[in-house]
Structure 1
Amino acid sequence: MHDIVRGSHMIDGRLKTLRALSATGTVTAAAETLHLTPSTVSQQLRQLQADLGVTLLEPDGRRVRLTAAAHTLLHHSDVLFAHWEQAEADLEAHREERAGSIRISAVASALSRLVAPAAALLAQQYPALTVEIGEDPEEDRIRLLLTGRADIVVTIPAADAPSPDDEAVEQHVLLEEPQDLLVPAKHPAAGEEAVELGAFAEERWLRAGDPRDQHQLLLSACSAAGFVPRITHNAVDWFAVSALVSHGLGICLIPRLVPVPAGHDVVRVPLTGDVRPTRRVVAFIRRGSHERRTVNRCLTALRSAAGAWSAGHDC
């Protein structure tokens, strides 16, 4: 079982339980995350509020709601956990070199283009370091980070992502990734070196990729170009998206990290002009952990992979 923060056993375990409840939203989900029973989670939180002399939870239908006192305690616990991460980093200087391990959760495009090359580099430089990689498509990746099931999360921040000054997590931008236009091979734009987004206001569009970030980027880009896209079909998997485009069912924006599948009659066309949408690829870590040896080495490898990829792809 992973701790809420790896190695943070010196901190009252009930604070970890409260953080898990805040991150997951329900006692049952918090219990699953912590590999405890719901009754154990409830008992720990009752004991915590009894010891502190404040009410931390209020009934909210069949669920519970965190009180103002609970949010105050969470604020202080975020600071406490961040200081512990820093303490762990400082203590590493007094320990003998050891292998260590790290787990990375990443969206598919970043996993294939950045995380995999970074892991290969780490294997060359630190062969004893254990690196575990997961795509975790059904998971809330920030929750994985806060509950200790991931040490680094590489993703595209959505609207509900933590802010840059969040007290629990910190962000490290790896690259600004351009968007291209994906069109059928027989489309008039397929032979162009670059096109302006506004010229495609009358086209049929696909809702392509993750609707939490990629579709929102399409809507904002088209709005900036002066039109609302006419959405005809949707798909999340980029192979399926490419198939829809190949058969003339619509066009879409495609991130430059995403390769165009072989065998489909599609063409990637760069965008030019005033509206050239990009998406930000970010590595999230728990605040205070950036100086820990394994985390720092992994961030360095990720930056190296991002720099190498950007140099070869006009980013």
Structure 2
Amino acid sequence: MRLVFAGTPEVAVPSLRALLESGRHEVAAVVTRPDAPAGRGRKLVRSPVAALADEHGIEVLSPVKASSKSFQTRLREIEPDCCPVVAYGAMLPQSALDIPRCGWVNLHFSVLPAWRGAAPVQAAVYHGDEITGASTFQIVKELDAGPVFGVLTEPIRPDDTSGALLDRLAHAGAGLLLSTLDGIEGGKLVAREQPAEGVSYAHKITVDDAKVDFTLPGLAVDRRVRAVTPEPGAWAEFRGERIKLGPMSRAEGDLAPGELLVERKRILVGTATWPLQLGEVQAQGKKRMQATDWARGIRIEAGERLT
């Protein structure tokens, strides 16, 4: 089939690469978010999808809005049979959805109808799901509610961060997307409507959501930290300044919520239940370091807390 691929971040790259390497479909163009400022110099940087397209000499379309007349005109000129989508990051109006003959097919990182929305992997980790996965479905006007073509499942490991889990799903999902497109082209794959039961939503994770509340049970604190790692990154305050926190591990002891205990080879922090052993810590203006090195440098006093 003649395809126009839509995606923006690194998580979309495995799918685009799989399509390019398959030799079974033609990627005529990609649609991605406009170049965005990044780094200390705030220079404009191409999205990972645009960068890969540039390497292969593929046309890049970067509309500010998918509703723009010039974008839709160019899309019609390209005449795609189908538009596969992986983490594009913008809403698609019906006028754009109607252009490709076989519509827009999205790879979403959950087993639909669970965790529709912007942050399905983070939600699965935070809520302690044992299994998640990926789904391919036909995009319709309602958010992530279109009929499903295919599903794969992936166990969530006890130490999974959302970043590690998403990386596995991105690579496994690339194969699912490719097989879905093969099935659509062959005319044998039929999408099935999502069940009305089991619908849940995963809202976009903000920096405020990533603040650690040590008055919660240790299990909830652990899940929250892993769910927001690496983005936007868990944080708490110490001596009035914000510090970033990496994944932690369960420990034994009796500490008040947020209370720090410095030992020779580990640093513990209290929760509402059992304490956690701190992993990496990053103070403002500093590089990430092991919690023991951080504690050694600032000389934590008895009774001090993370808040």
TM-score by length of 2: 0.30
Higher relative contact order (CA 8 A, sep 6+): 1
More helix by share: 1
